[in-house]
Chain A
């Protein structure tokens, strides 16, 4: 199977190891990975701020870059949701937008639904799972606490086969960390308060590290952890799975 890797701009620039871990994981599961080098950013920061015309420009570029591929995989719930849920709205007349929607997957979703793998490995730690909002409520990687539907968690299922890994039980299983794109800058006070409350929840639950499907949330939490001199560390779920199944 051939897959085009969609590496969000901030992962490309700030968390290259998350991109590498993603590629590694996919390859380990028999996938041939391509990285189309013309890619830049999906346009979410612009769309999130209301500048739909600016976002549209970048959406078109994304369509040019990724349309030729059969599968597109991205280690971010938020950027995946941008492509899947917002491109068809931004570019209603471009049939490539709906086509790209159907073939773009967030990494865990791709592993769980398309490759249907259940990783086996070892990772001895008590891990707090941060359910990033867009992965949870826009891509439905989990059931979520608001809705009355049978409980499931695709990331949880992927982590089930990892020996030694214990999921920390949080008081608020899926509250937002406060990153929220440009919100994190324009509403900095609330954003940081939300982040610190999430961290406290993970600490109370005895987590040794926080994992999740979005490096943006994790960057926010990591920034607070470092500033506050805390021991807790963050690790993208791609890195965790890559290390566990090495």
Chain B
């Protein structure tokens, strides 16, 4: 089992960095607060988004087939992948058939989830992530720490040093504008040399067969306009019925994600451009298992805005990498155990259950309730440490008996200050009162 608590403690140990990270991510949450306050109907919009997703998920197979039919009619090729492995093989197959050795990619958390880059590199394909944040973490050979801002864990000085080594920028250059300029120059060459472009998908419209990609850098547009092959990879849950529903999500997405009214680029792709090819890979990878579980179904409504991460007091102070999964934070902690409950049994416990994620979610996913539901499921699967189970069982036995509780309470007040435990490592215990409330109440009701 992986251990969020241990990695979080490491992150916290560097206090100044932890505070810097907390402030940087909180700044995005604050921007979101401002952006949504310009939309008076925000709460209704969240409900509407949630209901549209609920409806779409309730007839997902129909919408997927409708999408496939319309996408094919527009000239795209549609591929279906059961899991990460099949997805990777399909993408590689397309590239192999066309003799592609150089691929440019815009941001796609699905391909991160499937570890596509590693797979393609093993098969001799050069993969270049063209989203600036993604390129930075790719240079560092590490996963993104945030789904919207993949390199949010890095300071500009660290990026300057990285670019000095990778792109030959002057030593000590840490000006974000100049660093971005250097990356632009570097990526421009990669765009020009690419033989295929891969994008993620934010929304797939069933009635038109088109896919919608939202970016701020325009890299998806360049990556699909230059090379003759466009591969778009999407999870099955990305479907919306028609363009009018899309409008609801476009209003919710960027405001929740970065506090922008809308992303700089919202690109619609309906079939390939003349003389080019468009492939759409539709991936399940555990999603239909979630769909089958009523108590977790809501989590498939996620539009990957990252707002739950930005608001999460734990995420902000433990960093995305502490979760050990592609999608970190509250939504990641709800999704990951579906793939491997044993490996990710720590994640549903990496939360104080404060509920801020639930209130910030643009599609009203009951995130903190799902985390609690997972705790129950992990406990019944026997995936919670034995000592916890014993403490709970013994505690419940004592507390179910008033006499035992009273004796235990008395003993606790006498002995607790002398027993070392995680509480007293950084905190004092309150001064122990001589008498409990109930003892004092008795005297109050029946004074001697």
Inter-chain contacts of B5 with A (CB < 8 A): 186-190
CB nearest to B315 among chain A residues: A190
Partner of B375, one of A49, A147, A193: A49
Q: How far is the CB of B310 from chain A (nearest CB, A)?
A: 11
CA distance A145 to B350 in the complex (A): 22
Q: Do residues A14 and B427 form an inter-chain contact, with CB atoms below 8 A?
A: no
Asked whether any CB of chain A lies closer than 8 Å to the CB of B376, the reply is yes
Which chain A residue has the least Cβ–Cβ distance from B22? A197
Is B430 on the interface with A (CB-CB < 8 A)? yes
CB-based contact B427/A227 at 8 Å: yes
| Minimal beta-carbon separation of A198 from chain B (angstroms) | 9
Is A146 touching B360 in the complex (CB atoms < 8 A)? yes
Q: Which of B366-401 contact A (CB under 8 A)?
A: 372, 374-380, 384, 388-389, 392-393, 395-396, 399-401
Contact of B379 among A38, A45, A52, A226 (CB under 8 A): A52
Distance in angstroms between the alpha carbons of A226 and B136 in the assembled complex: 43
- Give the contacting residue for B396; candidates A7, A16, A43; CB below 8 A: A43
Determine the distance from Cα of A14 to Cα of B160 in the docked complex, in whole angstroms. Answer: 53
* A16→B433 contact, CB < 8 A: yes
The answer to whether B317 and A194 touch across the interface, beta carbons within 8 angstroms, is yes
The 0/1 profile, CB within 8 Å of B marked 1, for residues 10-25 of chain A is 0111111111100100
What is the CA–CA distance of A240 and B57 in the complex, to the nearest angstrom? Answer: 50
Number of interface residues of B (CB under 8 A): 78
Residue A99 at the chain B interface, CB threshold 8 Å: no
Instruction: Give the residue of B42, B352, B379, B430 whose beta carbon is less than 8 angstroms from that of A178.
Output: B352
Q: Which residues of B contact A46 (CB under 8 A)?
A: 392, 395-396
Which of A14, A181, A190, A192 has the most CB atoms of chain B within a 10 A radius of its CB? A190
Per DSSP, are chain B's interface residues mostly helix, strand or loop, or mixed?
helix
Partner of B444, one of A20, A37, A136: A20
Q: Is B36 an interface residue (CB 8 A)?
A: yes
A residues within 8 A CB of B388?
49, 51, 182
Encoded as 1 (CB less than 8 Å from any B CB) or 0, chain A from 25 to 57 comes to 000000000010111110101111111101101
- CB–CB A40/B352 < 8 A: no
Task: Report whether B436 and A13 are in contact in the complex, using a CB–CB cutoff of 8 Å.
Answer: yes
Whole-angstrom CA separation of A57 from B396 in the bound complex: 7
Q: How far is the CA of A125 from the CA of B430 in the complex (A)?
A: 23
Across the interface, which residues of B come within 8 angstroms of A232, CB to CB?
Answer: none
**B9 an interface residue at 8 Å Cβ cutoff?**
yes
B372 to chain A, nearest CB (A): 7
Please name the residue on chain B nearest to A224 by beta carbon: B427
A147-B317 in contact (CB<8A): no
User: Given that A13-B409, A38-B402, A50-B384 are known contacts, is A176 also in contact with B356, CB under 8 Å in the complex?
Assistant: yes
> Which residues of B approach A to under 8 Å, CB–CB?
4-5, 8-9, 12-13, 15, 18-19, 22, 26, 33, 36-37, 39-40, 42-43, 311, 313-314, 317-318, 348-356, 358-360, 372, 374-380, 384, 388-389, 392-393, 395-396, 399-402, 405, 409, 412-413, 421-423, 425-430, 432-433, 435-441, 444-445
